[in-house]
Amino acid sequence: MRRPLSEYAKGGALASQVILMVMLALQRSSLSGFGALLLALPLPGLLRGRLYTYQWASMLVAFYSALWLAEGWFDPARRAAAFGIAAVAAADFVSLVLYVRLRRREQLAQTAGSGVVSP
């Protein structure tokens, strides 16, 4: 049996979330360590596949992407590291949003196939 596409997006979101946390923890700034801890908050909901958690976590990660893009733009000495973190955050954002879209589509297809009328 074929795995649903949302499972691949979920795996990508979880992997990129953990990679982003590790990258932030390895930064020398104390704020980066705090940022890594903030990213740990949605992990239980992400592991359970809760759509609401994926939705609000995507907004959190969008903030990280913007923050590290600005850091790379204004600090040439840390440009490569900052843009690398911003790229991982952007990949995390895309996979979080993609999971929500694909999972909703799969739920609608399942509901339509069962003959149940949704409100």
pLDDT for residue 116: 57
pLDDT tens digits for range 85-113: 999 999 999 999 999 999 999 999 988 87
Cβ-based neighbours of 27, under 8 Å, separated by 6 or more: 33, 81, 85
Residue 118 has pLDDT above 90, yes or no: no
DSSP string, 21-73: HHHHHTSSSHHHHHHHHHHHTTHHHHHHT-HHHHHHHHHHHHHHHHHHHHHHH
Residue 117 has pLDDT above 70, yes or no: no
Answer whether 111's CB lies under 8 Å from 118's CB.
yes
Residue 15 has pLDDT above 80, yes or no: yes
Residue 9 has pLDDT above 60, yes or no: yes
What mean pLDDT is predicted for residues 36-56? 95
pLDDT for residue 113: 76
Distance CA 47, CA 24 (A): 20
From the list 107, 95, 55, 68, the residue with the least C-alpha distance to 116 is 107
pTM for the model stands at 0.88
pLDDT tens digits for range 50-80: 999 999 999 999 999 999 999 999 999 999 9
CA distances from 56 to 16, 45, 50, 87, 93 (A): 16, 11, 11, 19, 10
pLDDT for residue 66: 95
